[in-house]
Amino acid sequence: MNADLFKYQPGYGQFGDARQFIEQLRNKHWRKRFFWSEAGYPNK
């Protein structure tokens, strides 16, 4: 892999990191059970 790729880290601003973003989506769209099971989050 190119070491230059590791120097770039995008800022997600209001979304936080990926885990926080997914939690926000799960809290907002908790009733979409089929989607969450397909996405690998079956407990919501």
Pick from 39, 3, 38, 7: which is nearest to 21 by CA?
A: 39
Collapse the DSSP code of 12 into the 3-class scheme (helix H, G, I; strand E, B; otherwise coil) and give the result: coil
Whole-number pLDDT of residue 31: 85
Whole-number pLDDT of residue 30: 83
Whole-number pLDDT of residue 25: 86
Pick from 18, 44, 20: which is nearest to 31 by CA?
A: 44
Q: How many CB atoms lie within 10 A of CB 42?
A: 10
pLDDT in tens, 1-44: 455 655 666 666 777 788 888 888 888 888 888 888 888 887 65
Cβ-count burial of 30 within 10 angstroms (0-12 exposed, 13-18 middle, 19+ buried)? exposed
The amino acid at 24: Q
